[in-house]
Amino acid sequence: MTQYNHPYTVAIILCAGQGSRMKASKNKIFLEIGGVPIFARTLAAFESSAVIDEIIVVAHPDEMDYFQHTALKTYQFSKITNVTGGGTTRRRSEMNALNTLRQRIIRHEIDLLLIHDGARPFTAESIIVNVLQAAEAFGGAITAVPELSGDEIFAVDSSGSIQRVFHSGSLWNAQTPQAFRAADLLDVYDAAERDDFDGTDTASCFERYGRRVKVIYGSVNNIKITTPDDLAAAEHIIANNHIEE
């Protein structure tokens, strides 16, 4: 891999969701794949990354104590500098993390911010590097993979009628990590806070306020574990050694 002399970068890892679609008795990120909790696999990718300087974990308020004490002690994540509570929406959870970094961003001590779902445990170092390089160049960047089903995809309106037809290749599935210039993201989220706007992800807020977002190719193995089927797919990825470097 080409050496990347990176700007100071903080990764914000979102672990506050409860994952009702998993139908588990606990937060899905505590479920194990290959004998290791999902959150631990996710954090390990950023702990070991050469281009991540610091990690902020956004946890459910009831689980902050676990992350602050047990997780740090058990897995020895030395880059985690703060554990903050999640909000009622994704954007508010991210805003809580940004507020812990606000003064350092204003002082230009933090150059780039990376946002990642705690339930995506298979993020390759190459993806992390690529999305950060794109964010540095363009202001914002998102990882995604094209829809490869080969079938027509269509939107349906409230009456059950076809509203719009798309074709394979015209749609992409958004993933994380997503990365942004820190000062720009803080400005955008302050505006979203004033407008009470909650987008579908970080990039949607960034775009709403006129900022450019570059799309880079992610990975089909960079799955988000949301359902029992996803959990089975994750076990398959590990069993078949499909984890990318």
User: What's the CATH code of the domain at 142?
Assistant: 3.90.550.10
Specify if 4 maps to a domain.
no
**Domain membership of residue 131 as a residue range:** 9-239
Measure the CA–CA gap between 43 and 119, rounded to whole angstroms: 10
Residue with tokens 């990376």: 114
- pLDDT, tens digit, for every residue of 85-117? 999 899 999 999 999 999 999 999 999 999 999
Q: How many CB atoms lie within 10 A of CB 107?
A: 8
Query: Mean pLDDT, to the nearest integer, of 158-181?
Result: 76
Specify if 169 maps to a domain.
yes
Specify if 245 maps to a domain.
no
Looking at the structure of the chain, the number of domains it has is 1
Measure the CA–CA gap between 84 and 57, rounded to whole angstroms: 6
Specify if 244 maps to a domain.
no
53 phi and psi, to 5 degrees? -95, -25
Specify if 154 maps to a domain.
yes
Specify if 19 maps to a domain.
yes
- pLDDT, tens digit, for every residue of 172-219? 889 999 999 999 999 999 999 999 998 888 999 999 999 999 999 999
Specify if 3 maps to a domain.
no
Specify if 21 maps to a domain.
yes
